[in-house]
Amino acid sequence: MSTYSFLIRRVLQALAVVLLVTVVVFCLLHALPGGPARGILGPQATASQIAAFNHEQGLDKPLPVQYVYYLNQLVHGDL
């Protein structure tokens, strides 16, 4: 086994672990009671504030689209 194939295998394994961790964190955020908006805004947030936050953050879109937005924000450090 050459060094290059070893390094490529390790990089691919690291990417798989990072992808798995982001999926787990994304699922945990959505498992919060009231969703991510309630977890971020707190229990005192009104329904209109939660709806505005959900629309602003793209949380009113399908989950795969939300995950892509989440990854984009994660890469840009804009969480």
Query: Which tens digit of pLDDT belongs to each residue from 39-50?
Result: 888 889 899 999
pLDDT at 17 exceeding the cut of 90 = yes
CA angle 45, 63, 37 (to 5 degrees): 10
Q: What is the pLDDT of residue 52?
A: 93
Average pLDDT over residues 42-60: 90
Average pLDDT over residues 42-63: 90
Burial class (CB in 10 A: 0-12, 13-18, 19+), 24: exposed
Whether the CB-CB separation of 39 and 29 falls below 8 Å is answered with: yes
* 66/35 Cα distance (integer angstroms): 13
pLDDT at 1 exceeding the cut of 80 = no
pLDDT at 38 exceeding the cut of 90 = no
Enter the tokens of residue 16: 């798989």
Whether the CB-CB separation of 59 and 37 falls below 8 Å is answered with: yes
Find tokens 């009671």 and name the residue: 33
pTM: 0.75
